[in-house]
Amino acid sequence: MDLLDRAELYLHHHARLIDRLRFEALFRGGSRARVLEVLSCYQNEDGGFGNALEPDLRGPGSQPEPVEVAFWILDELGAFDSPIVPAACKYLSSITTGDGGVPFVLPSVRDTLRAPWWETEDDPPGSLVPTASIAGLLHKHAVTHPWLDAATDFCWSKLSVPGELEPYAARAAVTFLNWVPDRERAESEFARLRDAILATVTFDLNAPGHVHFPLDFAPYPLRLPLFTQDVLDAGLDGLLAAQSPDGGWSGNWLMWTPLVAHEWGGYVTLQHLNTLRAYGRLPA
């Protein structure tokens, strides 16, 4: 049984319907329309996403971060022409702060079941996470929307502020800088921030705990490369070796309920399969 067969078996044993359908669409010639149908079930009437699309946010109400999750799924499907996108942008506009960014999480999260790290102040400011990732993906797919203009200005402004980047903000910055249309400015900012971004990367592939490895920052070949080919090859070798005996991959952060371990397992397994294929480690 090869790597894909074992991954498929894991997904059939444990994963959510949406992740099973993603696998079918991406690796078995299945229907992308069916993935979109299921994804739309996570989208609320306000255009945002909830309902545990981001498995650690169990509540039904919309939050900013699940929009990023939805957009990564649309990205892998090449489906940014879906009506899901303008509806999500309308939602983002409704929750954007005065500086043009969306908060990391809204106070409404307090009324729902969620992982313990989803905490917020009463009036949360705009955050690079997830604003920069969402903006980067919209730019990648040449989406135009009024929300994106202000969000882009917000990202430039936040990136210009001196200070250390935390890993998730660094990863979001990489997505933004790789796809924002002003390439001259992006290359200049990338050169300035490169060392700060690399400072958040863990190069010891055996490091335990919730650390961030090179392929977390470069899940596909980047326009603004961060790593040498040797580093990427070692990461890909490590990814292949990390496939579990039951065929999946798991997250390296706290799995606070048994359910999310497999919900994340399905999502992460698809992420890693996409990465292996993007670097030529799986058949096209």
The pLDDT of residue 164: 77
Distances (CA, A) of 234 to 203, 228, 245: 10, 10, 21
Is 72 in contact with 134 (CB distance < 8 Å)? no
Confidence class for position 17, pLDDT limits 50, 70, 90: very high
Cα separation, 148 vs 159, whole angstroms? 16
Tell me which residue of 272, 192, 271 sits closest to 224, measured CA to CA.
Answer: 192
**Arithmetic mean of pLDDT, 243-265:** 96
Tell me which residue of 217, 121, 150 sits closest to 178, measured CA to CA.
Answer: 217
* Residue 24, amino acid: E
Q: What is the pLDDT of residues 29-40, one digit of tens each?
A: 999 999 999 999
Q: Model-level pTM greater than 0.75?
A: yes
